[in-house]
Amino acid sequence: MTRKIAVYPGSFDPVTHGHIDIMRRASAIFDEVIVAVLVNRSKTGLFTPQERQDFIHRSVADIKNVRVDSFNGLLVDYMRQREITTAIRGLRAVSDLEYEFQLAHTNRMLYPEMETVFLMPSVNYVYLSSTTVREVAMLGGELDFGVPAHVEKALREKYKK
């Protein structure tokens, strides 16, 4: 029997409760979920790729079939090299659909074996994004709605400087 492995790619800058919700739910569907942190050399994130990976490790330590990795370049190249054909993407609202639809079709043109599985977050996280969390943190607002305590602490430290 072939193991069902999926990649959940993203920048996760920072990881939110919405991301973690998708990871947990995907882990119930797939034998293994690889959370792949995008290392984008043309963009400077708030947190380094290693910090983001560490946040995710701590956030999903109790989920045994989720592991964390990183990649740069095209997702299809990362997946092809590992012989993985399923990507997971979260869809929060209708506004995400057009972009994700185009991305999924582009990925399939580049890697015909690739399928994209869309998961909707739990209703509590539909409007949650890393961008929103960063903005609230920058302005000194409460963050427990959006991120785990260890990420909140790191955000507070970042914006103290």
105 part of the active site: no
Catalytic residue, chosen from 92, 108, 150, 158, is: 92
What is the reported pLDDT for 25? 96
What is the reported pLDDT for 160? 85
Q: Which residues contact 8 (CB under 8 A, 6 or more apart)?
A: 22, 23, 26, 33, 34, 35, 36, 87, 88, 89
Q: What is the mean pLDDT of residues 63-70?
A: 97
Q: What is the mean pLDDT of residues 129-133?
A: 94
Catalytic residue, chosen from 19, 52, 89, 134, is: 19
Q: What is the mean pLDDT of residues 79-98?
A: 91
Q: What's the CATH code, domain 5-126?
A: 3.40.50.620
130 part of the active site: yes
Catalytic residue, chosen from 41, 43, 64, 161, is: 43
Q: 95 falls in which pLDDT band (50, 70, 90)?
A: confident
What is the reported pLDDT for 40? 82
Q: For residue range 32-48, what is the model confidence (pLDDT) as tens digits?
A: 999 999 998 777 899 99
- 97 C-beta neighbours (distance < 10 Å), count: 12
43 part of the active site: yes
